[in-house]
A and B are shown apart, each in its own frame.
Chain A
Amino acid sequence: MDGTRVATVSLELLSEGRRLADRLGVELEAVAAGHELSSVPGQVFRYGVDKLHLFDDVRLARYTTLPQTSLLCKLVKDNAYQIFLLGATVTGRDLAPRITAELHCGLTADCTSLEIGSYEDKRSGAIIDNLLYQVRPAFGGNIVATIVNPYNRPQMATVREGVMPLRVVKDDDYVGIVIAHSVADYVSDADFVVEVLERHVKPAANNLRNAPLVVAGGYGMGSKENFDMLFELARLLHGEVGATRAAIDAGFTTHDRQIGSTGLTVRPKVYFACGISGQVQHVSGMQESGIIISINSDPDAPINAIADYVVTGKAEEIIPKLITFYQQKQ
């Protein structure tokens, strides 16, 4: 929850959960914990939720770890769920591992795709069907691993925002079952020992996630001054500036602009890749872009293989010229 609004990643997970539930022939349940949750049913049922659990308490208005751990652990134990998905937000990553430690179950972080399949236990030779395949980049994003939890339940996974598509599958007049739980049955007073004293959130400084055009720069931009030229190009083209992890580590721009397996996943209509070699970690966060334009001094840079347009040369010399020629043409 984001106050009284269901986080976008949670709606994406409901869409994915619906697909998996249909595949398995089971129900999809959702759980929301917070305060003043009366609008939650209206927000989630469109995505095909069969049953919604609500935990409404003024003490849950601001997330803290312990009460949410207690109530989710009890809810999962009482209902013996097969699969339990959470958003890979700061909150989801704080909460999910805590639950697994209590329930002794497996958790895969930051999955990029989820499927149903079987697994052969090489020790016993047993074949286990209908398992959740949890696909995630591993090892700094250099490979993808498919993880399974053959024996422990629930099978838990977190997924980042923007990875799964939203799918509205029900009419606005569809209503599933709503169960309003008594929070006191799940949480003890001792769980409220951690106190949020202050909370400062400012709206995102950029709209990178939803921008139709992205001008992204890599370490190959060479310097912060060169990188700053990308902001000019992005402004002219009504786009946003993104960056690789290497460019951010080099101090060219801020963390909130990172695109890749440990940053944002974007799929703009147009993607300029400037001075970006195309390491797997980065490409996995932008490969679904429509038109990709690569500007790189290396004609054999890996990113060129997935680009529609390849310009070979020094990005810091080409960008100002593109800006000039664009202004002339306009």
Chain B
Amino acid sequence: MELNIIVLVKQVPDTRNVGGQAMNADGTINRAALPAVFNPEDLNALEQALLLKDKNPGSRVVVLTMGPGRAADILREALYRGADEAILLTDRAFAGADTLATSYALSMAVRRIGCFDIVLCGRQAIDGDTAQVGPQVAQMLGVPQVTCVRNIVSLDNSFAVAERSIENGVEVVKAPLPLLVTVEGTAASCRPRNAYRMLRFHRAATPTELSADGFRYTEQLQADEALCIKEWNLQDIAGDASRCGLSGSPTKVRNVENIVFKVKESKRYTAADGDLKALVAELLDNHTIG
């Protein structure tokens, strides 16, 4: 059976290695000051999509992201690994969105893509760790969801069966299509880039990139529709501006603080045997250890 699969992906600042002042005065993130990466769990989601495509030849994997122009980098990354089509949702009107406003824009873009059997996305993004966008998009699309999925066991005409992580265990869930699934990091890692696809798709570009690029690849692009990364704005998804970006976000950042911990007076020891014996003796004496 030929499936229509949509994968929601996000380019995130690499919060695993944060340095310097990466916050703006208004409490939003200065993304330009940080290395931008493919959100790790979105790669797990992409792999699940590609596995479904492997099992169901003729299926189509569309990757969708919302972000600034440079987010096209992760769309190319997805094309290298096997995605068929890429869409960048970008507009000043989307800036400053919280999860609800983000989910609204993404759900409208999914509607514009049209019919789908399954929407996949990472469980959460490493810049916010909220895990909210998947369930919010599912509710806005009016489809069921299965979150924290490690493996899609099977998928037929009308149902998917998936294993999901729960506290201290695993649950096997059967849910009808169309469906939204969020995939967690313990799921299969994403396959590497395919060399042939890299040769072909490194020229893939958005219309904006193309015009900035002096039209270097215009002819190839016109000859090969797959190299065109679509670029959609608020109008293209028939979005309501009042539900997008900062103005469509019910949550506001009141303030942001650096974390300050209370400093203690500490006793210092070296690694010499005498010091370590003294430490053990003291800890035993004052009943810190028994």
Measured CB to CB, the residues of A under 8 A from B are 64-66, 69, 89-91, 93-98, 100-102, 104-110, 119, 133, 137-152, 193-205, 213, 237-238, 255-256, 262, 269-270, 280, 283-284, 287, 291-294, 304-314, 317-318, 321-322, 325-326, 329
Q: Can you list 7 A-B contacts (CB < 8 A)? A: A90-B148, A97-B130, A101-B140, A141-B15, A147-B254, A148-B252, A305-B264
Tell me, rounded to whole Å, the shortest Cβ–Cβ distance linking B259 to chain A.
5
Chain B residue contacts of A119, Cβ below 8 A = 252, 254
Given contacts A201-B167, A312-B269, contact A104 B250 (CB under 8 A): yes
Q: How far is the CA of A321 from the CA of B284 in the complex (A)?
A: 15
Q: Return the chain A residue nearest B34 by Cβ.
A: A139
With a 10 A CB-CB cut-off, give which of B18, B250, B252, B269 has the most chain A CB atoms. B250
Whether, in the assembled complex, B146 has its beta carbon less than 8 Å from a beta carbon of chain A, the answer is yes
Q: How far is the CA of A15 from the CA of B288 in the complex (A)?
A: 31
Q: How far is the CA of A52 from the CA of B100 in the complex (A)?
A: 29
Tell me, rounded to whole Å, the shortest Cβ–Cβ distance linking B15 to chain A.
3
Whether, in the assembled complex, B113 has its beta carbon less than 8 Å from a beta carbon of chain A, the answer is no
Q: How far is the CA of A73 from the CA of B104 in the complex (A)?
A: 18
Q: How far is the CA of A115 from the CA of B126 in the complex (A)?
A: 26
Measured CB to CB, the residues of B under 8 A from A are 13, 15-16, 18, 22-23, 27, 29, 98-100, 103, 126-140, 144-148, 161, 165-176, 186, 249-259, 261-264, 266-271, 273, 275-277, 279-281, 283-284, 288-290
Given contacts A101-B140, A194-B144, A318-B276, contact A329 B281 (CB under 8 A): yes
Given contacts A195-B173, A318-B276, contact A98 B271 (CB under 8 A): no
Chain B residue contacts of A94, Cβ below 8 A = 135, 145, 147-148
Asked whether B273 lies within 8 Å of A143 as measured between CB atoms, the reply is no
Asked whether A193 lies within 8 Å of B176 as measured between CB atoms, the reply is yes
Q: How far is the CA of A147 from the CA of B257 in the complex (A)?
A: 12
Q: Return the chain A residue nearest B179 by Cβ.
A: A194
Asked whether B271 lies within 8 Å of A318 as measured between CB atoms, the reply is yes
Chain B residue contacts of A95, Cβ below 8 A = 135
Q: How far is the CA of A109 from the CA of B23 in the complex (A)?
A: 20
Asked whether A139 lies within 8 Å of B264 as measured between CB atoms, the reply is no
Chain A residue contacts of B133, Cβ below 8 A = 97
Asked whether A325 lies within 8 Å of B276 as measured between CB atoms, the reply is yes
Instruction: Return the 5 tightest CB-CB contacts between A and B, nearest first.
Output: A313-B271, A140-B15, A106-B250, A201-B169, A101-B139
Asked whether B167 lies within 8 Å of A89 as measured between CB atoms, the reply is yes
Given known contacts A97-B135, A307-B266, A309-B283, what 5 new A-B pairs fall within 8 Å (CB)? A100-B100, A101-B136, A270-B288, A312-B269, A325-B276
Q: How far is the CA of A255 from the CA of B167 in the complex (A)?
A: 11
The A interface is mostly helix, strand or loop, or mixed, namely mixed
Tell me, rounded to whole Å, the shortest Cβ–Cβ distance linking A265 to chain B.
14
Given contacts A93-B147, A308-B266, contact A200 B23 (CB under 8 A): no
Number of inter-chain CB pairs below 8 Å: 245
Contact partner of A145 (CB less than 8 A), chosen from B144, B256, B283, is: B256
Q: How far is the CA of A258 from the CA of B290 in the complex (A)?
A: 25
Chain A residue contacts of B171, Cβ below 8 A = 196, 198-200
Q: Return the chain A residue nearest B268 by Cβ.
A: A310
Asked whether B251 lies within 8 Å of A311 as measured between CB atoms, the reply is no
Given contacts A98-B136, A291-B288, contact A304 B266 (CB under 8 A): yes
With a 10 A CB-CB cut-off, give which of B131, B253, B263, B289 has the most chain A CB atoms. B289
Contact partner of B255 (CB less than 8 A), chosen from A146, A309, A312, A322, is: A146
Chain B residue contacts of A308, Cβ below 8 A = 264, 266-267
Asked whether A311 lies within 8 Å of B15 as measured between CB atoms, the reply is no
Asked whether A142 lies within 8 Å of B18 as measured between CB atoms, the reply is yes
Contact partner of A280 (CB less than 8 A), chosen from B147, B175, B259, is: B259
Q: How far is the CA of A101 from the CA of B98 in the complex (A)?
A: 12
Chain B residue contacts of A203, Cβ below 8 A = 168
Asked whether B172 lies within 8 Å of A196 as measured between CB atoms, the reply is yes
With a 10 A CB-CB cut-off, give which of A102, A107, A287, A291 has the most chain B CB atoms. A107
Tell me, rounded to whole Å, the shortest Cβ–Cβ distance linking A125 to chain B.
14
Asked whether B279 lies within 8 Å of A311 as measured between CB atoms, the reply is yes
Asked whether B251 lies within 8 Å of A106 as measured between CB atoms, the reply is yes
Given contacts A66-B144, A196-B172, A201-B168, contact A306 B251 (CB under 8 A): no
Q: How far is the CA of A213 from the CA of B287 in the complex (A)?
A: 12
Q: How far is the CA of A96 from the CA of B148 in the complex (A)?
A: 15
Q: Return the chain B residue nearest A294 by Cβ.
A: B266
Q: How far is the CA of A108 from the CA of B176 in the complex (A)?
A: 30
Q: Return the chain B residue nearest A94 by Cβ.
A: B147
Tell me, rounded to whole Å, the shortest Cβ–Cβ distance linking B221 to chain A.
37
Chain A residue contacts of B254, Cβ below 8 A = 119, 133, 145-148
Asked whether A305 lies within 8 Å of B281 as measured between CB atoms, the reply is no
Given contacts A98-B139, A308-B264, A329-B281, contact A197 B174 (CB under 8 A): yes
With a 10 A CB-CB cut-off, give which of B130, B268, B275 has the most chain A CB atoms. B130
Asked whether B270 lies within 8 Å of A65 as measured between CB atoms, the reply is no
